[in-house]
Amino acid sequence: MLATFGDRSPDAVADQISSLELTWLIAQIEQHYGVVLDLSDELLAGMSTVSGATATLRGAVAEAATGASTEAPTVAGTAAAAAEAAAEHG
């Protein structure tokens, strides 16, 4: 999904994520899954890499889908798997 920002190939996406890329990615995930993510500063700080963003978004989407808090992200459910697939998809 991140590769579509700037029309890049998935191989061209660096491991480090800029703040602009992160903002765009969060907006795309919210729109795609129909959720609103309320991410704390602590969670955002852990999203400076592709792997960090994937793990955090996976948990946050799952929690948003179930109405749980995003303060302590968990990995569960089909929404989490869908978020992971979206993040890995590009």
User: Which pLDDT score is estimated for 65?
Assistant: 82
User: Which pLDDT score is estimated for 67?
Assistant: 74
Q: Can you give the residue ranges of every domain in the chain?
A: 2-88
- Taking residues 62-81, what's their average pLDDT? 56
Which own/partner pairs from 23-26 qualify as long-range (CB within 8 Å, at least 24 positions apart)?
A: 25/1, 25/53, 25/57, 25/87, 26/57
Measure the CA–CA gap between 69 and 66, rounded to whole angstroms: 9
State the pTM of this model: 0.70
Decide if pLDDT at 7 tops 70.
yes
Residues 6+ apart with CB under 8 A from 65: 33, 35, 77, 79
Of 89, 71, 69, 82, residue with least CA distance to 32:
82
